[in-house]
Amino acid sequence: MALLAKQPEIADCPYYFTSDGKHALGKLSGVTGWRLHDTRRVCRSLLSRIGVPNDVAEMCLGHTLPTLRKTYDLHNHYQEKKHAFEALAAEIARIIDPPAADVIPLRR
């Protein structure tokens, strides 16, 4: 959330990430040949890595439960998704700024 709060607002655009932003990120990072959908794939893979249950991980991507389960399970899963996104943010922080080599985390 702290990173999103620092992003400039684009007039009349409700989104944080735009196709222009993708091109700017590509130039800054030097990474080419990627698509916005790749970020969803990375997100989903990281959610699996950190042990987020499959249903919650899928809902984090905006997917819904299968039809019959969606009919009976009306819970919004807000807290579960919030926990998943917080854990994802912590994992990304560890990737970007790994702990010192002589420090071994007790928990991941």
Domain assignment present for 60: yes
Domain assignment present for 103: no
Domain assignment present for 27: yes
| Confidence (pTM) | 0.73
- Residue 92: give the domain boundaries: 2-96
Domain assignment present for 80: yes
The predicted model gives 83-90 an average pLDDT of 96
pLDDT at res. 44: 97
State yes or no: pLDDT of 101 exceeds 90: no
Output Rg (C-alpha) for the chain, integer angstroms: 17
Nearest in space to 3 (alpha carbons), one of 103, 101, 97, 105: 97
The pLDDT tens digits for 15-50 are 776 666 777 777 877 888 888 788 899 999 999 999
Domain assignment present for 52: yes
Domain assignment present for 105: no
Domain assignment present for 107: no
pLDDT at res. 108: 59
The pLDDT tens digits for 55-85 are 999 999 999 888 888 899 899 999 999 999 9
**Dmax of the chain from CA atoms?**
50
pLDDT at res. 41: 95
Q: State how many domains the chain has.
A: 1
pLDDT at res. 45: 97
Domain assignment present for 83: yes
Rounded Cα distance between 7 and 21, Å, is: 11
State yes or no: pLDDT of 91 exceeds 70: yes
